Amino acid sequence: MANILLGVTGSVAAVKTPLLYETLQHSGYAVKVVATQASLYFFDPAAIPRPSLVLDEDEWPGRSVGRRWQREDEVLHIQLRRWADILLIAPLDANTLAKLANGLADNCLTCVWRAWEPGRPVVLAPAMNTLMWQHPATGRHLRQIATDMGAAPPTELGLDGLLDWINTNCPHLRIAAPEDRRLACGDVGVGAMAALDTIAAVMQSVLDSG
């Protein structure tokens, strides 16, 4: 089975990280979790076995006590990219979506993204407040990501049409669309992360398509 690199960002939906990790493992995948600092506010990292959990501080071991990089040291985000067959980011918050689209690489996960080959599979599962999801920047960022991965969407598409276009025309990129329901903040609307079985099904479809 495939090696899954699960990126987790600072959305409330990160509370589901331990369950998503277990779901993927029980499906037979090898899973490593790359968690941003913001995501750790929403789940206990002790719920993920430490060898399978990568934190930002793991990128630069010993830095807090003055250690410096040595020539024989591995570059962690490159090692993770080499290990993984597919990159799944669930949840993908608005801040990290903007970073991916603009090429920022200021943590381990975004460094993996910046080093990821465009011809290798990616699944993104956005999760954010409805108004954040509907913000014009969201469409711009998703268009840029699709373009960077080799398929430029038509500019006239609305957000729903854009997701359909990406999922139909981008062979290596799939978006697990957020759902319409009551959000953690109390608002009701689109923005909740897709159900875990939906995310797993989207991921499997990408792997099956080669």
Q: pLDDT tens, 64-84?
A: 666 677 777 788 999 999 999
Average of per-residue pLDDT values in the chain: 93
- In this structure, what DSSP letter does residue 48 have? S
Q: pLDDT tens, 129-145?
A: 999 999 999 999 999 99
- State what percent of residues in the chain have pLDDT above 90: 80
> Residue 37 above 70 pLDDT?
yes
Residue 68 or 155, more confident? 155
Of the options 3.40.50.1580, 3.40.50.1950, 3.10.180.10, 3.30.420.40, the CATH number for the domain spanning 3-209: 3.40.50.1950
> Nearest to residue 123, comparing CAs of 191, 11, 209?
209
pLDDT band at 188 (very low <50, low <70, confident <90, very high): confident
Stretch 161-170: mean pLDDT = 96
Stretch 177-186: mean pLDDT = 86
Q: Which of 108, 111, 170, 185 is catalytic?
A: 185
Q: pLDDT tens, 4-27?
A: 999 999 999 999 999 999 999 998
pLDDT band at 185 (very low <50, low <70, confident <90, very high): confident
Contact 114, 99 (CB under 8 A): no
**Phi–psi pair at 11, nearest 5 degrees:** -105, 150
pLDDT at 181: 85
Tokens 């200021």 sit on residue:
106
Q: What is the pTM of this model?
A: 0.94
Burial of 63 (0-12, 13-18, 19+ CB in 10 A): exposed
Residues 145 and 100: their CA atoms lie apart, in Å, by 7
Q: In sequence order, which residues have a C-beta less than 8 Å from that of residue 70 and are 6 or more positions away?
A: none
Q: Which of 73-77, 147-151, 174-178 has the lowest mean pLDDT?
A: 73-77
Cβ count within 10 A of residue 10: 20
Q: What are the sequence ranges of the domains in the chain?
A: 3-209
pLDDT at 182: 84
Task: State yes or no: is 185 an active-site residue.
Answer: yes
Contact 93, 152 (CB under 8 A): no
